[in-house]
Amino acid sequence: MKTDLVEIFQTIRASLQPFAALGYTVHENSETGYDLYSEKNIEVDGEKITERFFAGVYINGSEVEVKVNTQEFEPSNPNIIKFDSEKVGLKVNSLDNEKLKEIDTLVEIINVHFKEKEWV
Q: Does an H or E element contain 115, and which?
A: helix 97-116
For range 90-94, the mean pLDDT: 94
Percent of the chain beyond pLDDT 70? 97
Tell me the whole-structure pTM to 2 decimals.
0.90
Average pLDDT of the segment spanning 69-91: 82
Mean pLDDT of 45-49: 82
Question: Beta strands 87-92 and 81-82: pairing type?
Answer: antiparallel
User: Residue 97 has what pLDDT?
Assistant: 95
